[in-house]
Amino acid sequence: MSETSGRVPTLVPSARAPDGAETARLGKLARRAFGAAPRADGARTGEPACRGGHGGRVTLVGAGPGDPGLLTLNAVRALQAADVILFDDLVSDGVLDLARREAKRMMVGKRGDRPSCAQADINALMLTLARAGRHVVRLKSGDPMIFGRAGEEIEELRAAGIPVAVVPGITTGLALAAELGVSLSRRGEAQAVHFVTGRDRHGDVPSDLDWARLADPRSTTIIYMGGKTASRIAERLIAEGLPADTPTLVARDVSRPSQRIWRGTLDELRGPFPLPSDGPVIIGIGTVMRQESAGAELEREQVSVRKAR
């Protein structure tokens, strides 16, 4: 088994400070990229559309795994137009730094095994703020639609007649694949990719997963929130027939400077958890995970070439 930590820093700094003309040009491009979307009549406005007593709305925004560079343009636009931002505990400071300075920021928790805001309270807060005419951005780590309870929030808002939109984000499982240069559906090795939760609402191993399908060696399984249940999940998969030597990977703080990765086998995962599990942890299981080393070497080689230019 092995472990690595840290990420490759940005190695392509600007060769010179921009002059006045270039600064103006870059500013214009930035406004075009991150400003409000054009209205139907071609006009633009910097004011949120929800100003007034009955114009409130909610935008669910995916914050990605942590690196603010992985945000979409629409996510930044929403943050720049927000009156209030309700953000989860795992949203990074770098993402919040891109929000409009005047926007009020409110952390609403949502983290396993720690004190958190009840979902009903979050729903009620969104409704109250939107009814007061605010543009509320509900900022969620990863993608709102992947284990983010977005469905419950959307249903509640729609039932109350509150306009709601969703801006997708990069879910941690896909960010991990990109970090490692691993294709989760590599031809000839994985015919299916499963995203599953490693815990139920009581903190136990989910009893209603299709374990026989997850134990198919021709598939890749990504497990979210499985730090506390990893050993039992490994035992169940092996009992269902997945080879004990199946390549397995555990990652913490994907895309962040504190990123750490452990590599081993499914059998080794039955032992003590290899990384601190008090942070955002994700587990990857499948034969494609053995391709990770080649992917990392290719990334380092490309970075070295860019740096030498």
State mean pLDDT over 151-160.
96
pLDDT per residue as tens digits for the range 276-299: 877 779 999 999 998 654 455 445
Q: Which of 26-35, 52-61, 88-97, 267-276 has the lowest mean pLDDT?
A: 26-35
DSSP string, 1-63: -EEEE--PPP----SS---HHHHHHHHHHHHHHHSPPPPTTS---SS-TTTTTT--EEEEEE-
Instruction: Share the mean pLDDT of the chain.
Output: 81
More confident residue, 29 or 181: 181
**Which residues does the annotation mark as catalytic?**
88, 110
pLDDT at 291: 64
d(CA 213, CA 156): 33
**Structural domain boundaries in the chain:** 53-170, 172-294
Domain 53-170 classification at class level: alpha beta
Q: Is the per-residue pLDDT at 141 higher than 60? A: yes
Q: What number does CATH give the domain 172-294?
A: 3.30.950.10
